[in-house]
Structure 1
Amino acid sequence: MKTQNKSEQDLISVTLHPRSSLHAPAHEDYRSLTLDRLRRDSARVRSLTLKHDLALHGVKKSDLKPSTTTATATITDLEASDLQTPIVSGMSQGSGEYFSRVGIGRPPKPLYMVLDTGSDVTWVQCAPCTDCYQQADPIYQPSASSSFASISCDTPQCQSLDLSACRNNSCLYQVSYGDGSYTVGDYVSETLTLGNAAVDNIAIGCGHDNEGLFVAAAGLLGLGAGSFSFPSQIKTPSFSYCLVDRDSNSASTLQFGISAPFTSNDVTTPLLKNRQMDTFYFVELAGIGVGGETVTVTVSAEAAGGGGGGVIVDSGTAVTRLQTAVYEAVRDKFRSGAAGLPGAGGVALFDTCYDLSGRQSVSVPTVDLHFAGGKAVRLPARNYLVPVDSAGTFCFAFAPTSSALQIIGNVQQQGIRVGFDLEKSTVGFAPNSC
């Protein structure tokens, strides 16, 4: 992506926080936290896989359908550094997701929200609660916001909802995530504040009944490619994020309207279109390099058009999933290159683990993600050999999937600025640009 000459009114930047900002974890030790995180991650992958499979059969049960007419969001009083928000790792809560601090309403009430490039709908838990899960912040009170407004049942936004109802001419919504998680409530217009920027007239869900995988965050910021996602509503030409290390106390940013600082040494690759799954960001992953040898990944023909399969970049999935045959080939090459390391038993979905207790450093094979166009992203070792307990056990952080849908997860994205140029339909990867 090249730097675009955009006016200051098109820019939003949000800081990304460490997860320690949220309430204390409820896990006995690091291993139990890891196991909880991997259980949640497996459920997340099942949800995305089901969404993929339903879309192939023309069924969409998770997000809003595209509409040709929507309310226009407006961005007011922005500086070049305004439209950005902090990101925090969800590790301490057993979550593989990342959170941002977003203000809801006027005056803005700051809430932690999950960043999700695999969903379009933005929503928050709202009072009064029929069934709300525990979150770090107080439950959002619509009555305290001067910018809260119902959306009428006869509007295109409401009529385009996949699952909707009407009460006193106010629109109701339901979003199901395929794994049993769901949110139900009022579909409303509200002001969102990111950093120093207030964005008016954003359609969001005000959820009174919310159940499932959600932990600690007040809701979800939908960053998908569909018509009702937050980037689409504010009509931003681009957005980018950098995910800090899951155990880090440092911070980074989620930025809108600011082109990521890619250079000729960084990697950009086209985003692939899929008419039946417009939420997902598909890419052509040509292969996985391990120790200089490449395992081919052939999926671009399937993902193009309306077919199934393909590879998506997802901020909400933790561990990268590869089709079983591809995964086994990648894993076997890694095992061969790490044959001198003492093995350990598998942990949950990880089947390749090592006992590195007492060691200050080890040598492991390099791992590269090869994209269309011939460029490759070399992953830091911490992005594919990760600790799973406090006793020195580390595991190879890729996993197999029987689904045709493959996912580049956030463990592999850590420390890399990932930028989506929505005008040029490309995604870029800039290591060490947080």
Structure 2
Amino acid sequence: MASRGRPRPGSLQALAAASIAILFLAAASRAAASRAAAGSPDRPAPGPPLFLPLTRSYPNASRLAASSRRDLGDGAHPNARMRLHDDLLTNGYYTTRLYIGTPPQEFALIVDSGSTVTYVPCASCEQCGNHQDPRFQPDLSSSYSPVKCNVDCTCDSDKKQCTYERQYAEMSSSSGVLGEDIVSFGRESELKPQRAVFGCENSETGDLFSQHADGIMGLGRGQLSIMDQLVGKGVISDSFSLCYGGMDIGGGAMVLGGVPAPSDMVFSHSDPLRSPYYNIELKEIHVAGKALRVDSRIFDSKHGTVLDSGTTYAYLPEQAFVAFRDAVASKVHSLKKIRGPDPNYKDICFAGAGRNVSKLHEVFPDVDMVFGNGQKLSLTPENYLFRHSKVDGAYCLGVFQNGKDPTTLLGGIIVRNTLVTYDRHNEKIGFWKTNCSELWERLHIGDAPSPAPSSDTNSETDMSPAPAPSSLPEFDVGLITVDMSINVTYPNLKPHLHELAELIAKELEIDSRQVRVMNITSQGNSTLIRWGIFPAGSDNAMSNATAMGIIYRLTQHHVQLPENLGSYQLLEWNVQPLPRRSWFQEHVVSILLGILLVVLVTLSAFLVVLVWRKKFSGQTAYRPVDSVVPEQELQPL
């Protein structure tokens, strides 16, 4: 998994070292994974493509396995279409939804072309963070089975189950046991649920511990990757595609399996023997039609030019970055150069370009990437710029210097509104500029496929990739939390909190009673506030559309503070689903009414008995006419 934000200098060297260090572990687990993948005696016919995310790969796996696989290069096969949810702004990654087990347990997994294992937090994990969904509970799945310890894998301390371990350049790690279960790809998938090996985490550190997403989906070249497992079963062709949304329209889609290549798709050769990562042959970069004055070999050093869906931005070797920066700056004389939104980075930003993304080409130059075969990928400004989060109508370069690392690393920003097809069978990667929110229509894919089993059987099927800002899973939203840093001391801010809450509500177009302060922390000359945005009135939840409208206005910096309240920085927002109530919580009223009814009936019965006994007790004792008290029982003489 590559860095999701800005990688440290030398990050790919560290990644390569990590890959070599764990290669033995991956190889040791291959036989177990292969046996699990081949567990059924009857192999299904090659199926349709499946829309999913990417992951890191090991270089020779595809070629080594090619001789034992069917040739899936031609013909129509099923596919699994999966939505991508845009968490790019706040977290630097895209996620998709995967369902594991019987009945299905749902997870939000990061789309990452730098990992070869799919893993989710296990219920038994003692060192896992709080993530988007509940942890995987093997005991609740009737189809789960552990991958038993054998000579071909690393075993746990009890010598009963195979284990995995992954370490990443940003100093995060994941480790746990390997299990096998039925994996479902959502209701838009033509591909039927399949048995697959995955990791059940028992420990995670670093970014993996603190991230909102549940885990990682591994689709690289490696026997434990879900991509290789599905190809090995013969249910999809050896290809997958990724389509990220644009600057204004997020979300997107992923396909596991082949899709028809548009006639104007451009390709570059990708050599799996050259690098453990998905690579292309980049020869030149043109800005406004002129090639950068750098030696073309600069893009071919070390790992070559790497595509990584787990990286947010693009990173060039020093000489190429300087040339690119200067070439772009020379074409934007009409714009004012300003500081970036984060003082920790020396971003190159320009103000005065306006808010309309479709008109950015009028002030920023077009960029072309020329491949080794002479074909050219044209980039619009949204493919190398990101919005300034504090200044309206300002943009910053999303291309950075890769420290002293000679590798060219292209992250998700480069392929906004671009369908990228990773044709592993033919060792090439294709690029096609398109509107990812209209992908199915533009590919002339017909009606929605039959629904596959999912945890939500009542939802309607919608074939459109998720539009921005609909990066939320489809649940009723119970709460939105917003972390904000305001450049005012707490004593000066405290008298204005009510005014500030009303201002935020007005800018977000909601009722002021929905905005409440949940936590305040003083930090020197600034104040950290966590706001809670609750459903309106008596509603228990707000719809996805309402929640995403609020988030869109937040992230587009709609909230403007008066001068006496200073400036602010949006640090983080999180969406929490309506809490899942237990059986007791759902029936507590009925239980209390039942208890009350039993108590009333018991008291009534007791009173009836008491009255009856009192009424008849005086009629049973004999008393002579002239006696004051009833006659007592005769005592023996």
The bucket for the TM-score relative to the shorter chain is: 0.7 to 0.9
Confirm or deny that 1:387 pairs with 2:387.
yes
Give the drift of 1:240. 0.4
CA RMSD of aligned residues (A): 2.7
Give the drift of 1:88. 0.9
Which residue number corresponds to residue 407 of structure 1?
409
Which secondary structure does the structure 2 equivalent of 1:298 belong to?
A: helix
Give the drift of 1:427. 0.4
Within-5 A mapping of 1:149-168: 149-154=145-150, 156=152, 158-159=153-154, 165-168=156-159
Higher normalized helix content (fraction of residues): 2
Deviations 1:18-48 (A, max 9, x none): xxxxxxxxxxxxxxxxxxxxx9512488654
Query: Equivalents in 2 of 1:130, 1:142: separation in Å?
Result: 15
For the Cα contact (< 8 Å) 2:18–2:169, is it kept in 1?
A: no
For the Cα contact (< 8 Å) 2:307–2:410, is it kept in 1?
A: yes
What code does the residue aligned with 1:252 have? G
Give the drift of 1:84. 1.8
Which residue number corresponds to residue 24 of structure 1?
none
Give the drift of 1:259. 2.4
1:325 to 1:300, Cα distance in 2 relative to 1, 3 A: closer
Which secondary structure does the structure 2 equivalent of 1:64 belong to?
A: helix
1:358 to 1:282, Cα distance in 2 relative to 1, 3 A: closer
> Which of residues 80, 83, 93 is equivalent to 2:80?
83
Which of the pair has the greater relative contact order for Cα pairs under 8 Å at 6+ separation? 1
Which residue number corresponds to residue 173 of structure 1?
164
Deviations 1:196-246 (A, max 9, x none): 444433121100212221311111111212332221111132110101236
Deviations 1:278-335 (A, max 9, x none): 3x11111111111111125425764xxxxx3311111010111100111110111011
For the Cα contact (< 8 Å) 2:176–2:200, is it kept in 1?
A: yes
Which secondary structure does the structure 1 equivalent of 2:95 belong to?
A: strand
Which residue number corresponds to residue 188 of structure 1?
179
Deviations 1:118-151 (A, max 9, x none): 1111111110220222211122211111221111
Within-5 A mapping of 1:309-324: 309-324=303-318
Give the drift of 1:383. 1.7
Query: Equivalents in 2 of 1:244, 1:190: separation in Å?
Result: 32
Which residue number corresponds to residue 96 of structure 2?
100
Which secondary structure does the structure 1 equivalent of 2:83 belong to?
A: strand
1:117 to 1:394, Cα distance in 2 relative to 1, 3 A: same
Which residue number corresponds to residue 428 of structure 1?
430
> Which of residues 197, 202, 223 is equivalent to 2:196?
202
Which secondary structure does the structure 2 equivalent of 1:50 belong to?
A: helix
Mark the runs of 5 or more structure 1 residues left unpaired by the alignment: 1-38, 303-307
Name which of structure 1's ranges 360-369 and 397-406 shifts more when overlaid on structure 2: 360-369
Sequence identity percentage: 25
Confirm or deny that 1:42 pairs with 2:6.
yes
Which residue number corresponds to residue 242 of structure 1?
243
What code does the residue aligned with 1:183 have? S
What code does the residue aligned with 2:239 have? S
Give the aligned length.
379
Confirm or deny that 1:268 pairs with 2:267.
yes
Which secondary structure does the structure 2 equivalent of 1:152 belong to?
A: coil
Give the drift of 1:193. 0.8
Name which of structure 1's ranges 404-413 and 69-78 shifts more when overlaid on structure 2: 69-78
Which secondary structure does the structure 1 equivalent of 2:228 belong to?
A: helix
Which residue number corresponds to residue 420 of structure 2?
418
Query: Equivalents in 1 of 2:8, 2:158: separation in Å?
Result: 32
For the Cα contact (< 8 Å) 2:78–2:257, is it kept in 1?
A: no
Query: Equivalents in 2 of 1:63, 1:154: separation in Å?
Result: 13
Within-5 A mapping of 1:21-170: 41-43=5-7, 47-53=11-17, 58-60=20-22, 64-65=26-27, 69=31, 70-71=34-35, 72=37, 82-92=79-89, 94-154=90-150, 156=152, 158-159=153-154, 165-170=156-161
> Which of residues 286, 289, 292 is equivalent to 1:292?
289
Give the drift of 1:395. 0.4
What code does the residue aligned with 1:208 have? N
Which secondary structure does the structure 2 equivalent of 1:272 belong to?
A: coil
Give the drift of 1:192. 1.3
Name which of structure 1's ranges 239-248 and 100-109 shifts more when overlaid on structure 2: 239-248
Higher normalized strand content (fraction of residues): 1
Give the drift of 1:385. 2.1
1:281 to 1:118, Cα distance in 2 relative to 1, 3 A: same
Which secondary structure does the structure 2 equivalent of 1:340 belong to?
A: coil
Which secondary structure does the structure 2 equivalent of 1:333 belong to?
A: helix
Give the drift of 1:52. 2.2
Deviations 1:260-279 (A, max 9, x none): 5331x22111102336x43x
Query: Equivalents in 2 of 1:135, 1:324: separation in Å?
Result: 37
Query: Equivalents in 1 of 2:92, 2:6: separation in Å?
Result: 10
Within-5 A mapping of 1:11-26: none
What code does the residue aligned with 2:221 have? A
For the Cα contact (< 8 Å) 2:299–2:407, is it kept in 1?
A: no
Using the size of structure 1 for normalisation, the TM-score is 0.79
Confirm or deny that 1:233 pairs with 2:229.
yes
1:68 to 1:165, Cα distance in 2 relative to 1, 3 A: closer
Give the drift of 1:54. 5.3
Query: Equivalents in 2 of 1:40, 1:318: separation in Å?
Result: 6
Name which of structure 1's ranges 67-76 and 228-237 shifts more when overlaid on structure 2: 67-76
For the Cα contact (< 8 Å) 1:122–1:204, is it kept in 2?
A: yes
> Which of residues 297, 316, 326 is equivalent to 2:320?
326
1:300 to 1:389, Cα distance in 2 relative to 1, 3 A: closer
For the Cα contact (< 8 Å) 1:191–1:198, is it kept in 2?
A: no
Give the drift of 1:188. 1.2
1:233 to 1:216, Cα distance in 2 relative to 1, 3 A: same
For the Cα contact (< 8 Å) 1:61–1:175, is it kept in 2?
A: no
Query: Equivalents in 1 of 2:9, 2:241: separation in Å?
Result: 23
1:355 to 1:318, Cα distance in 2 relative to 1, 3 A: same
What code does the residue aligned with 1:425 have? E
1:212 to 1:62, Cα distance in 2 relative to 1, 3 A: farther
1:129 to 1:198, Cα distance in 2 relative to 1, 3 A: farther
What code does the residue aligned with 2:269 have? P
Which residue number corresponds to residue 36 of structure 1?
none
Name which of structure 1's ranges 119-128 and 351-360 shifts more when overlaid on structure 2: 351-360
Which residue number corresponds to residue 378 of structure 1?
378
Using the size of structure 2 for normalisation, the TM-score is 0.55
What code does the residue aligned with 2:265 have? D
1:247 to 1:167, Cα distance in 2 relative to 1, 3 A: farther
1:257 to 1:358, Cα distance in 2 relative to 1, 3 A: closer
Mark the runs of 5 or more structure 2 residues left unpaired by the alignment: 49-76, 232-236, 437-637
Which residue number corresponds to residue 305 of structure 1?
none
Which secondary structure does the structure 1 equivalent of 2:222 belong to?
A: coil
Asked which structure has the greater CA Rg, the reply is 2
For the Cα contact (< 8 Å) 1:88–1:244, is it kept in 2?
A: no
For the Cα contact (< 8 Å) 2:223–2:229, is it kept in 1?
A: yes
Give the drift of 1:382. 1.4
